[in-house]
Chains A and B, each alone.
Chain A
Amino acid sequence: DAKTTQPPSMDCAEGRAANLPCNHSTISGNEYVYWYRQIHSQGPQYIIHGLKNNETNEMASLIITEDRKSSTLILPHATLRDTAVYYCIVRALRLRGSYIPTFGRGTSLIVHP
């Protein structure tokens, strides 16, 4: 799996857009970019994923650069409930069809009033 690098922490004002960056400079062509978040003491929650094109769903938007070496997760109108640790994960097919999603330290996002 390509390694990902994220800032350890960020903060954002409620109602503003939160832009969370992720570097994955060693990504290869068949590797997807996934984003999950973990609200304190809960299980991780899937947010969004993409391969090449930008993606949007009801939770967030994912912007992937043309060279695919970095991406940005955008929460368009952050709320206090978006305070969580956000994980950027890159994964690829391994031997025997096993994918090993690797959760790093992530970015701790604090949304303040």
Chain B
Amino acid sequence: NAGVMQNPRHLVRRRGQEARLRCSPMKGHSHVYWYRQLPEEGLKFMVYLQKENIIDESGMPKERFSAEFPKEGPSILRIQQVVRGDSAAYFCASSPGLAGVNEQFFGPGTRLTVL
């Protein structure tokens, strides 16, 4: 039973390029969460999705960031026109049901570096 998978593990982009981060939840999990962790800081919630639906995106920057979790395939976090301040570790988590009564399982993260 594979855990949460994220790819790529490391991503380097130049300013102005697009970054696409992928997350495959654990088998049977339909709830996906994205977090961002800046260097030396804690994890900040970004967005919570269920299949084909964004449930809560209150932590997502209003511009340049988008997320999706299609019916088939992984969840995608997309960052357009990246800037240096986007450099961070991006973690995905999944849970079998609502996270308040189910633990979250985290992936290994994608480390984005913007040059």
Interface residues of A (CB under 8 A from B): 32, 34, 36, 38, 41-46, 49, 87, 91-94, 96-106
Residues of chain A lying within 8 A (CB to CB) of residue B100: 32, 91-93, 99
Of B41, B55, B59, B99, the residue contacting A91 (CB under 8 A) is B99
Number of chain B residues whose Cβ lies closer than 8 Å to a Cβ of chain A: 27
- Cα of A34 to Cα of B93 in the assembled complex, Å: 15
Residues of chain A lying within 8 A (CB to CB) of residue B69: none
Residues of chain B lying within 8 A (CB to CB) of residue A106: 42
- Cα of A92 to Cα of B56 in the assembled complex, Å: 14
Residue of A nearest to B100 (CB): A99
Of B48, B59, B91, the residue contacting A44 (CB under 8 A) is B91
- Cα of A105 to Cα of B100 in the assembled complex, Å: 20
Give the total number of A-B pairs whose CB atoms are below 8 A apart: 63
CB-based contact B55/A98 at 8 Å: yes
Interface residues of B in 63-115 (CB under 8 A from A): 89, 91, 93, 98-101, 103-109
Q: Interface on chain A toward B: helix, strand, loop, or mixed SS?
A: loop
Residues of chain A lying within 8 A (CB to CB) of residue B34: none
CB-based contact A43/B55 at 8 Å: no
- Cα of A36 to Cα of B48 in the assembled complex, Å: 19
Query: In angstroms, how far is the closest chain A Cβ from the Cβ of B50?
Result: 9
Of B41, B48, B89, the residue contacting A100 (CB under 8 A) is B48
- Cα of A93 to Cα of B98 in the assembled complex, Å: 9
Of A32, A43, A96, the residue contacting B106 (CB under 8 A) is A43
CB-based contact A44/B45 at 8 Å: no
CB-based contact B91/A43 at 8 Å: yes
Residues of chain A lying within 8 A (CB to CB) of residue B104: 36, 44, 46, 101
CB-based contact B55/A49 at 8 Å: no
Given contacts A98-B56, A101-B104, contact A42 B42 (CB under 8 A): no
Residues of chain A lying within 8 A (CB to CB) of residue B56: 94, 96, 98, 100
Interface flag for B43 (CB, 8 Å): yes
